[in-house]
Amino acid sequence: MSDIRNIVILTGAGISAESGVATFRGPDGLWEGHRVEDVATPEGFARDPALVQRFYDARRARLHEVQPNAAHAALARLDSEWKGDLLIVTQNVDDLHERAGAKRLLHMHGELKSAWCRACDARLPWEDDLGSGPACPDCGVDGKLRPDIVWFGEMPYEMERIDRALMEADLFVSIGTSGAVYPAAGYVQTARYCGARTLEMNLEPSQGSIFFHETRLGRAGELVPDWVEEVLEAN
Ligand code: APR
């Protein structure tokens, strides 16, 4: 582990679970009582915009009640102390990585605290509800703001930057993700094919577990701080 320079870390809902944020794929197949197709697709939004806005408004409001956990804090420590290249790619739309202090971070599936205006295409920092149909601060048009979240069938953000980082990575680490959703689920294969060592930390083996050189099973809040300590000590 001592000749590592470039690290890419992929995080998913499991890293925020110990903070009290619900993961996506519960045992009942529902996401907080809703079918994913109803609340996380452009078609679901077209069918029932009020339901979808309410759903994300509730999630955005809930961010004030949750705090980063030990796993977010450990990655923020790695970010500040790691001299080589590092990119944390999160699938999460919460803001717990940045609140813990991570800087080299990218939200590939968008952010709860961002709104996207379908009239003028602006993306704006957003704290409040969208369900009331507020006017876009940029163009002034009412009722055209939607959550700036990448839904199924939409293109994740910053794909080229992620691909470049994966191709240059010496170490790829996946934390708290089921490996059920592409393109993120395929990052382990890209990184490994291009020469990276690959490590997964998750509560249970992910769907792509066989592609990793090493799997550590357990809670992110325990595994990630230990791993960060290990990596900083060895390098
Ligand atoms: N520590 C580590 N892993 C955990 C913990 C924990 N405390 N709690 C749960 N997990 C694991 C679960 O075992 C599961 O494998 O985290 C994973 C979460 O998987 P998902 O709920 O499928 O979340 P994620 O992989 O982030 O989903 C990917 O799907 O719905 C879309 O866009 C949405 O970004 C999301 C994407």
Write the pLDDT tens digit of every residue in 176-201.
Answer: 999 999 999 999 999 999 999 999 99
Q: Residue 227 belongs to what H/E stretch? A: helix 220-234
Burial code (b: 16+ CB inside 10 Å, e: under 16) for 176-190 equals: bbbbebeebbebbeb
Entry pTM: 0.96
Mutate to test the pocket of ligand 1, among 91, 151, 201 (most ligand atoms within 8 A of CB): 91
Ligand 1 atom nearest to 219, measured from its CA: 1
Please list every protein residue whose CB sits less than 6 Å from any atom of ligand 1: 12-14, 17-18, 23-25, 36, 40, 91, 109, 176-178, 180-181, 202-204, 206, 219-220
Q: Which two tokens stand for residue 158?
A: 């910053």
Distance CA 206, CA 215 (A): 9
Bigger pLDDT: 23 vs 69: 69
Residue owning the nearest CA to atom 23 of ligand 1: 13
Helix spans in 14-169 (H): 14-17, 36-39, 42-47, 49-62, 70-81, 96-100, 159-168
pLDDT of residue 51: 96
User: What six digits make up the tokens of 65?
Assistant: 């009640």
- Centre of ligand 1 to C-alpha 184, Å, is 12
Ligand 1 atom index nearest CA of 151:
32
Find the mean pLDDT for residues 45-62.
96
